[in-house]
Amino acid sequence: MENTAKIYVAGHRGLIGSAIERRLRVHGFNNLIYADHAALELTDDAQVNRFFDEHRPEYVVLAAGRVGGIVENQSFPADFIHINLAIQLNLLRVAHRHGVRKLILFASSCMYPRECPQPMAEDALLTGRPEPTSLAYAISKLAGMQMCLAYNQQYGVQRFIPVIPNSAFGPNDNFDPYSGHVLSSLIRRFHEAKSSGAVEVVLWGSGAPRREFVHADDIAEACIRLLTRDTTTLPLPVNIGTGTDYSIQQLAVLIARVIGFEGQIVWDHSKPDGAPCKLLDSSRMRTFGWNPSVDFEQGVKQTYQWYLDHVLQTEKSA
């Protein structure tokens, strides 16, 4: 991929999309195009077609979609499946029509069976039922992944690359305690508890489930490698993970320590845990030459500092 290549990053203001934009610029790719939600509704086929007719991107990174934690998934399953399916259908169809050279689509580790051998290899997909609390989202992402593979198969060119990152975190994450994912939500919960002088923080579930966390910059670097290298023989889809997981209890203790919260952590066992384990086998991506570089605890500290500098400052000035 030449440095002058025109690259469309869909979802450039989100956690992963913003990281991809940052890292592309670090690598010297500056011919980037994007549009926020007000300018382009990705669920609208006509708008997507007009956008591609006007801008004609050569490469596409599809990081846009409806995402959220357990509460959001349980509250809005119809939105999760409809919005993600519509975006994927529109973007893949128009990318094919315009002859896009490569497209990266973000799938999800939620697609794996709830009860799955650990670490989860790509071949385990569709061998069992995904976690029920995020089933609608998982089905939409399975469909997106399969659409990529179907286009590649039917037209004989491996241009659409579905990737499966594990739980992402970093700058531009969603820190809402109800709609965000676990790490960013806990940062806000513990910060507010410390600020208010609370003696305890009550968290959902048992704290026993284990999760693997990947900094958004590491995910972006993996995607840039996929965009810039020959992927014609790479088995698809591709997991992106660090190879290390943590229990939610360990995560909570780490975040409490980073923030300086000294109260008690209480677990509400009446609430759901979600999938018990979600550790990915990322050997395909490592064989392709990628390895994560962001230390987990340092990444959490940097993410907390970003929360202080951006989210809190914005809220205070509003």
> Tell me, what CATH number does 57's domain have?
3.40.50.720
pLDDT at residue number 84: 98
Strand, coil or helix: what is 128?
coil
**At 86, is the pLDDT very low, low, confident or very high (cuts 50, 70, 90)?**
very high
- List the single range of 18-27, 85-94, 268-277 with lowest mean pLDDT: 268-277
Residue 133: domain span: 7-317
Nearest to 147 by CA among 135, 137, 136, 159: 159
Cβ atoms < 10 Å from Cβ of 131: 25
Q: In this structure, is residue 1 part of a structural domain?
A: no
Residues 95-99, mean pLDDT to the nearest whole number: 97
Q: What amino acid is encoded at 200 in this protein?
A: E
Provide the β-strand partners of residue 213. Answer: 167
Nearest to 112 by CA among 89, 75, 137: 137
pLDDT at residue number 302: 97
The beta-carbon contacts of 94-97 under 8 Å, at least 24 apart in sequence, are 94/48, 94/49, 94/52, 95/52, 95/60, 95/160, 96/151, 96/155, 97/52
- pTM score of the predicted model: 0.95
Q: In this structure, is residue 2 part of a structural domain?
A: no
Task: Select the more confidently predicted residue: 1 or 259.
Answer: 259
Q: What amino acid is encoded at 113 in this protein?
A: P
Residues 87-105, mean pLDDT to the nearest whole number: 98
Q: Is it the case that residue 41 has pLDDT exceeding 90?
A: yes
C-alpha torsion 229→215→61→90, nearest 10: 140
Contact 163, 226 (CB under 8 A): yes
Q: Crossing angle, helix 296-306 and helix 182-196, to 10 degrees?
A: 60
162 upstream amide cis, omega within 30 of 0 = no
* Average predicted confidence (pLDDT) for the chain: 95
**At 8, is the pLDDT very low, low, confident or very high (cuts 50, 70, 90)?**
very high
**At 178, is the pLDDT very low, low, confident or very high (cuts 50, 70, 90)?**
confident
Tokens of 279: 């550790």
pLDDT at residue number 71: 82
What is the per-residue pLDDT across 235-281, written as a single tens digit (0 to 9) for each? 999 999 999 999 999 999 999 999 999 999 999 999 988 888 999 99
Nearest to 135 by CA among 216, 76, 195: 76
Q: Is it the case that residue 177 has pLDDT exceeding 90?
A: no
Q: In this structure, is residue 162 part of a structural domain?
A: yes
Tokens of 230: 């020959």
Task: Choose the catalytic residue: 8, 34, 59, 137.
Answer: 137
What is the total count of domains within the chain? Answer: 1
Position of tokens 């697609």?
111
Contact 62, 16 (CB under 8 A): no
Position of tokens 């993996």?
222
Q: In this structure, is residue 167 part of a structural domain?
A: yes
Q: In this structure, is residue 81 part of a structural domain?
A: yes
Q: In this structure, is residue 86 part of a structural domain?
A: yes
Q: What amino acid is encoded at 54 in this protein?
A: E
Residues 124-141, mean pLDDT to the nearest whole number: 96
What is the per-residue pLDDT across 66-85, written as a single tens digit (0 to 9) for each? 998 888 888 999 999 999 99
Residues 277-306, mean pLDDT to the nearest whole number: 97
pLDDT at residue number 95: 98
C-alpha span between 117 and 290 (Å, rounded) = 23
Q: In this structure, is residue 150 part of a structural domain?
A: yes
Phi and psi of 140, rounded to 5°?
Answer: -65, -40
Task: Establish whether 246 is a catalytic residue.
Answer: no
**At 318, is the pLDDT very low, low, confident or very high (cuts 50, 70, 90)?**
low
